[in-house]
Structure 1
């Protein structure tokens, strides 16, 4: 069983990456082979609207023809048994790099002739992890649930299923004395110390479910 994970944060040792690492730990313990890809290491862009993946008579279905660093990775996605995408929330949605990836990894499988039937060759479990500075109580006021559910629904539509995991009120800086803040930094640090380990444990359990979901 092969799980491919994608870090949509420019940071490799912070909230999103840490959550992903815990998820991969859970998947490994459940017997999965895992691969982690840092999207910010790659040179690629979002969908170019060339519509080659929708042309009648095309040689392959569900294939993005753009040639860049993402192309060989998208080819491996077709062989994966589970997918995990983690991203920080920037300006109310996924990071730009993550958004570009989601366009490229999903649009070729969108069946214009029948939206209910994905071009992806089989059903696999997927998951989205979002980390964010805002508190849980702020989510509804900022309309974040609509953003998250839209992304989850699209992943489920194309690949078969998608689970959502949110980590709120995360720590943005190592030293809050050096940056602008609008809250009590001690309260923030205390909450993060209490909650983030629980979020990481939830991520580990998520990784195990992804692996076990394939085996079921």
Structure 2
């Protein structure tokens, strides 16, 4: 059994990465009677682009039918994911949506599995369980009011068509800087941010752990 966490954040030890690791810890806890391998894949370590629209994945009888033909740093990652038993995606939110790095990865992962037949059927090798962890500076009520959720739902809907409907969690009002005094950040109160993080982030870690556990049936 193999479960991968895909880190769409450029940082390897901050909010998103921490929650992804907690989710993998939950996977291991739930699978303690089974052999399970887990791995975090940091997308910002890899050199790749989004879909190049070559359509090799759609060519009838082609050697790359149903899979991405581009040979770059995520070629092997896509192969791993195709045989995974679960995947957890994580991303901070930049301008109301996931990072460009994760969006490009999803293009390359998902598009080859979408068939241009009359039913727009899908051909993913496995209908594996999926989770999605979002981290963001904004508070939960702001996220609801400015339309973030409709954007997230579009991504989740596409993933759900290809694999399964993702389990989802949000980590809001995150602590962004190690020292707020070094940055122009007068829109925020560092004291309030720190107080919120002290209480809420441990709870978010527990939520991530439970999401990981839920992937193992």
User: TM-score surpassing 0.5?
Assistant: yes
CA distance in 2, matches of 1:125, 1:115: 23
Is 2:35 the counterpart of 1:30?
no
- SS at 2:104 equivalent: helix
* Contact kept? 2:59, 2:65, Cα under 8 Å: no
* Structure 1 position 183, deviation (Å): 2.2
Are positions 1:123 and 2:109 aligned together? no
Deviation sequence 1:3-42 (CA, Å, 0-9, x none):
0111111100100000001001000112232121110011
Residues 168-183 of structure 1: matches in 2 within 5 Å? 168-181=172-185, 182-183=187-188
Partner of 1:146: 150
- Structure 2 counterpart of 1:8: 8
Question: Which structure 2 residues correspond to residues 16-55 of structure 1 after superposition, within 5 A?
Answer: 16-31=16-31, 32-55=36-59
Structure 1 pair 116–211 and aligned structure 2 pair: CA distance change class (3 A): farther
Give the 3-state SS of the residue equivalent to 1:85 in structure 2: strand
Unpaired runs of 5+ residues, structure 2, are none
1:72 aligns with 2:60: no
CA distance in structure 2 between the aligned counterparts of 1:185 and 1:168, rounded to whole angstroms: 15
TM-score (norm 2): 0.94
What is aligned with 1:203?
208
Query: Which has the higher mean CA deviation after the structures are superposed, 179-188 or 166-175?
Result: 179-188
The alignment partner of 2:145 has SS state of coil
1: CA distance between counterparts of 2:119 and 2:103? 21
- Describe the superposition over 1:150-205 as per-residue Cα deviations: whole angstroms up to 9, x where unpaired: 11111111012311111110011011111122022211111111111111100000
User: What is the number of equivalent residue pairs in this alignment?
Assistant: 212
Once the two structures are TM-superposed, the CA of residue 57 in structure 1 deviates from its matched residue by: 2.3
Note the C-alpha offset of 1:102: 0.9
- The CA RMSD over aligned residues, in Å, is 1.3
